[in-house]
Structures are given as structure tokens and as C-alpha cells.
């Protein structure tokens, strides 16, 4: 913001590779987040993303066919799946744009597709998913309905072209595949397979079973309609992806909800009817999931709340460098102490994969000794209930500040530099 331009290389982290350029595919949400954080703190950021997720639920209420009551029940059934990725981060905007694009396709507002994808491309690299959804829909429209084939092809080409109007240009496409491949290699919980001997695993199994039964009973009807067929295909694809990477369950939930709605209504196309006697039904089906999702998102938040209070911010800024931060805490260090570099953070692209692997593995195991000796850390910002915190406190590090989320520790004076 101070420079008035997008940075090309990372200067905020110790472990970043200066030869690797930063890929700012989330540049617009970054500016919005900074402004909101400056005005209202972390609670304002949570409020923004909470409203975003709530609006996603409201859009889905219009996309799912069937009665208002059926829509509300289906939306409530997928709420637990959003908890897997429910954090105030730009990826939530991807869910909003996915639901918005799906609604535009269902209503055949095809000329809006390039505009939606253009704005999406400024917010998150998941716009590639939107392009895939548009491609599937337009291909099925041309094959099944055999109408306006040339126009559909022109719209698809314009969609692909508008996506490239972003700071990364055409590099956005290979970046998505490179970044995804890197994430698959890292031992991160959100990208690992879901743990099935769990309550959430059992719940997802029930949803899978319900969808299989509903689709089996109405399979022929679903194949006759472009909307239901497209959602069924994408739901099937993301079923396999979600089983291997739990984070995809949030995207799968969107296609699951719409596909289940079509299965329960015998594949009837969705059209928004604005008759006076139906407005209350749509209002009910939109506001109910909006309320519940927002409550889940705002849980624990309050106006003026920060992950670090004023004392924690003061202690962090006074803690000496170099500072150890984890994959999850590096971002907080960037927010509250711009003068001291973090070690690593959740931005994958400025770091070499071997550096991330070493840091995250040490963080998960709690054996920080080799890492600390190599980098010479004399302070640390870690999660207060993590293995890292336990290891440092047992090693005699002094706890300067702590709450239920974060802890600031410093090395005792007189110890070997960096040795826990």
C-alpha cells in the first residue's frame, strides 16, 4: 500500500528465496483486508469474510431446486463441511464466486460469465475452477440442447481471455498447477485425506450414501437436463479429489447440495420465480443458511478483537530477532511487527519446498533443535497449544506473553544463540 504497486519479491521472511518472484493472485482481497484491519481490527476482517460465506449460502439457496424447506435442510446439512476451511482468508471468496457463477449458468445469463470470472481472477486463483464449470456447462449446452454453439464457444474463449487480465497474466494457469502440486507435498492437515474414524468422517459417509441413493432413483431424469448433468459430473469429480484432500470437501459440498436438489425434484431446471406469493419462501431459504453460517464464522469474534492484545503487540515488537514463526503464525507477525521478519508463513510461493518441508516437519514433531541452531533464533511466535510451545517451555525459554491462541517466547540470556 505504501509503495503504490505490487511487490515482485518477498522481503518479509527469513526463509524466503529472493530469486523466486511472488505470485500475488489474491491482490484485491489483500488490499480490502488491509483497509478493514486498519479500520476495525481482526473482527472487521472476520465480519467481511463471514458475510461473504453467508452470501454464498444465500446464492446456493437460489441455485438448489425444490421447496424452500428442502433448500434450507440441504444447506444446513453441508454446514459442517465448511468448517474444514472456515477461516478469514481469500479462498472464501472463491466459494462465493462459484455459487454466483453457478446461478448465472442456471439462469442462462451467459453474457455475465466473463465479468464474474474477471472479478474472480483478481481475488483468487481458484478462478480456474470457475472456468472449468463454465466449460462443462457450455459444452453440454452445445451437445445436449444443440443451440447457439458458436456463441457458446465465443463466450468460453472470452472467459479464458478475461481471466488473464490480472497481475499474473497467462502465468496464472501454470501457477495453479505448480502451487497445488507443492501443497500436496506438504504435511498440512487441510490438504491431507480426511480421518474417517471420526464424527465428521461418519457424517460425510451419510451424505455420500444419501446422494448415491437419490441419484440412483432419478438417474435417467438427471441425464436429460443440462444443469443436473453438469452438477452431477462436477460432484463426481470432486468426490474423488475430496477423498484425497479434505479441503476439497467445501467445494464438493456446493455441487452436492445442488445435485441432491435436482435428484429430489426429478431433474427439474431451476428458474427464479419472482411472483409475490413466493418471495417469502425464497427469503426464508436465503436467510436461514445466511444466519447459521455467519454465526459459525463469527464464533468468538467481537468488535475490536485482535489475536494479540495491546500487551502482546508490545511484547512482540520488543522481542529480539531473528524470530521463529510457524506456518500458521507467520502471518500474525507480518501484521503486527513489520520491522522483524518472520521465519515462514502460509504463503507458499516465496519459499523453496525443502525449506517448508523441514520447517513444518519440525513444527509438527516438536523437535526444533536442529532448525534453531541453523537459523539462530532468539525469539518465537508460536501457537500456545502446539508441540513447538511445549518444546520451547521445557527447554527453558521465557514466556513473555500468552493467550488461548498464541504465545511469545524469548531465549534466556547466556544460552548458545538459537539453542532451545
What predicted TM-score, i.e. pTM, was given to this entire model? 0.84
CA–centroid distance for 311 within its chain: 31
Last residue of a domain, one of 243, 274, 298: 298
Last residue of a domain, one of 257, 272, 298: 298
State residue 273's pLDDT score: 47
Q: Return the minimum-mean-pLDDT range out of 32-41, 89-98, 134-143.
A: 32-41
Q: Is residue 21 part of a domain?
A: no
Q: Are residues 249 and 358 in the same domain?
A: no
- Comparing 157 with 71, which gets the higher pLDDT? 157
Judge whether residue 267 has pLDDT over 70: no
Q: Are residues 290 and 323 in the same domain?
A: no
Q: Are residues 123 and 265 in the same domain?
A: yes
Q: Are residues 320 and 245 in the same domain?
A: no
Total residues found in the chain within this entry: 420
Q: What is the pLDDT of residues 42-60, one digit of tens each?
A: 778 877 887 888 888 888 8
Q: Give dist(CA 131, CA 120) in Å, integer.
A: 10
Q: Decide: helix, strand or coil at residue 308.
A: coil
How would residue 32 be classed by pLDDT, with cut points 50, 70 and 90? very high
Q: Is residue 372 part of a domain?
A: yes
Q: Is residue 362 part of a domain?
A: yes
State residue 278's pLDDT score: 57
Q: What is the pLDDT of residues 203-249, one digit of tens each?
A: 888 999 999 998 888 888 888 888 889 999 999 988 888 888 877 88
Q: Supply 413's cell numbers.
A: 540470556
Q: Decide: helix, strand or coil at residue 300.
A: coil
Instruction: Find the DSSP H helices in 273-352.
Output: 276-298, 310-318, 330-336
Q: Are residues 75 and 160 in the same domain?
A: yes
Mean pLDDT of 27-50: 85
**CB neighbours of 383 closer than 8 A, spacing ≥ 6?**
326, 328, 329, 389, 405, 406, 407
Q: Are residues 211 and 332 in the same domain?
A: no
State residue 164's pLDDT score: 92
Mean pLDDT of 26-53: 84
Q: Is residue 2 part of a domain?
A: no
Q: Return the minimum-mean-pLDDT range out of 5-14, 91-100, 133-142.
A: 5-14
- Comparing 169 with 2, which gets the higher pLDDT? 169
Judge whether residue 68 has pLDDT over 90: no
How would residue 283 be classed by pLDDT, with cut points 50, 70 and 90? low
- Residue ranges making up the domain that contains 148: 27-298
State residue 136's pLDDT score: 93
C-beta separation of 264 from 82 below 8 A: no
Q: Are residues 321 and 345 in the same domain?
A: yes
> 27-63 and 276-298 helices cross at what angle (nearest 10)?
140
Q: Are residues 96 and 62 in the same domain?
A: yes
User: In total, how many domains does the chain have?
Assistant: 2
Q: Are residues 285 and 327 in the same domain?
A: no
Q: Decide: helix, strand or coil at residue 274.
A: coil
Q: Is residue 416 part of a domain?
A: no
Mean pLDDT of 15-32: 82
State residue 397's pLDDT score: 93
Judge whether residue 159 has pLDDT over 90: yes
Judge whether residue 350 has pLDDT over 80: no
Q: Are residues 277 and 211 in the same domain?
A: yes
Distance between first and last Cα of the chain:
37
* Integer-rounded Cα radius of gyration of the chain: 23
* Dihedral sign, Cα of residue 251, residue 256, residue 257, residue 259: positive
Query: Measured between alpha carbons, how far is residue 58 from residues 99, 117, 231, 291, 300 in Å?
Result: 9, 20, 18, 10, 23
Q: Is residue 337 part of a domain?
A: yes
Residue 41 exposed, middle or buried by CB count within 10 Å (0-12, 13-18, 19+)? middle
Judge whether residue 271 has pLDDT over 60: no
Q: Are residues 264 and 396 in the same domain?
A: no
Mean per-residue pLDDT of the chain: 82
State residue 53's pLDDT score: 82
* Dihedral sign, Cα of residue 174, residue 180, residue 232, residue 262: negative
DSSP 21-87: BP--TTHHHHHHHHHHHHHHHHHHHHHHHHHHHHHHHHHHHHHS-S-HHHHHHHHHHTHHHHTTS-S
Q: Is residue 361 part of a domain?
A: yes
Q: Is residue 57 part of a domain?
A: yes
C-beta separation of 366 from 413 below 8 A: no
- Comparing 123 with 65, which gets the higher pLDDT? 123
Q: Are residues 316 and 293 in the same domain?
A: no
State residue 409's pLDDT score: 94
Last residue of a domain, one of 270, 298, 326: 298
Judge whether residue 18 has pLDDT over 80: no
Amino acid at each position: 500500500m505504501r509503495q503504490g504497486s505490487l511487490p515482485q519479491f518477498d522481503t518479509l521472511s527469513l526463509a524466503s528465496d529472493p530469486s523466486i518472484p511472488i505470485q500475488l493472485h489474491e491482490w484485491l482481497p489483500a488490499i480490502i483486508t488491509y483497509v478493514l484491519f486498519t479500520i476495525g481490527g481482526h473482527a472487521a476482517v472476520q465480519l467481511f469474510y463471514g458475510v461473504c460465506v453467508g452470501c454464498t449460502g444465500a446464492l446456493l439457496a437460489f441455485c438448489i431446486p425444490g421447496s424452500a424447506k428442502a433448500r434450507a435442510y440441504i444447506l444446513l446439512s453441508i454446514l459442517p463441511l465448511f468448517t474444514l476451511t472456515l477461516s478469514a482468508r481469500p479462498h472464501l471468496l472463491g466459494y462465493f464466486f462459484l455459487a454466483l457463477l453457478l446461478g448465472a449458468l442456471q439462469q442462462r445469463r451467459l453474457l455475465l460469465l466473463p465479468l464474474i470470472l474477471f472479478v474472480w481472477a483478481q481475488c483468487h486463483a481458484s478462478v480456474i475452477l470457475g472456468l472449468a464449470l463454465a466449460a462443462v456447462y457450455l459444452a453440454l449446452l452445445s451437445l445436449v440442447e444443440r443451440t447457439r454453439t458458436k456463441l457458446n464457444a465465443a463466450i468460453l474463449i472470452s472467459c479464458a481471455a478475461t481471466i488473464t487480465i490480472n497481475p499474473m497474466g497467462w502465468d496464472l494457469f501454470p501457477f495453479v498447477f505448480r502451487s497445488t502440486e507443492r501443497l500436496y507435498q506438504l504435511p498440512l492437515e487441510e490438504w491431507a485425506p480426511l480421518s474417517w474414524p471420526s464424527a465428521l468422517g461418519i457424517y460425510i459417509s451419510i451424505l455420500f450414501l444419501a446422494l448415491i441413493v437419490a441419484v440412483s432413483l432419478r438417474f435417467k431424469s438427471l441425464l436429460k437436463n443440462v444443469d443436473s448433468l453438469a452438477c452431477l459430473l462436477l460432484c463426481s469429480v470432486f468426490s474423488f479429489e475430496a477423498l484425497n484432500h479434505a479441503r476439497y470437501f467445501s467445494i464438493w459440498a456446493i455441487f452436492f447440495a445442488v445435485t441432491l436438489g435436482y435428484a429430489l425434484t426429478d431433474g427439474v431446471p431451476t428458474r427464479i420465480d419472482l411472483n409475490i406469493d413466493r418471495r417469502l419462501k425464497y427469503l426464508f431459504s436465503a436467510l436461514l443458511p445466511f444466519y447459521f453460517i455467519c454465526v459459525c464464522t463469527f464464533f468468538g469474534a467481537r468488535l475490536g478483537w485482535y489475536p494479540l492484545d495491546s500487551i502482546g503487540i508490545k511484547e512482540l515488537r520488543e522481542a529480539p530477532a531473528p524470530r521463529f514463526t510457524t506456518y500458521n503464525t507467520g502471518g500474525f507477525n507480518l501484521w503486527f511487527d513489520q520491522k522483524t521478519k518472520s521465519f515462514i508463513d502460509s504463503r507458499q510461493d516465496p519459499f523453496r519446498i525443502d525449506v517448508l518441508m523441514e520447517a513444518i516437519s519440525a513444527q509438527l514433531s516438536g523437535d526444533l533443535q536442529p532448525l534453531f541452531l541453523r537459523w539462530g533464533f532468539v525469539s518465537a511466535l508460536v501457537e500456545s497449544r502446539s508441540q513447538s510451545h511445549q518444546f520451547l517451555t521445557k527447554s527453558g525459554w521465557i514466556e513473555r506473553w500468552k493467550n488461548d491462541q498464541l504465545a511469545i517466547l524469548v531465549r534466556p540470556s547466556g544460552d548458545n544463540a538459537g539453542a532451545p
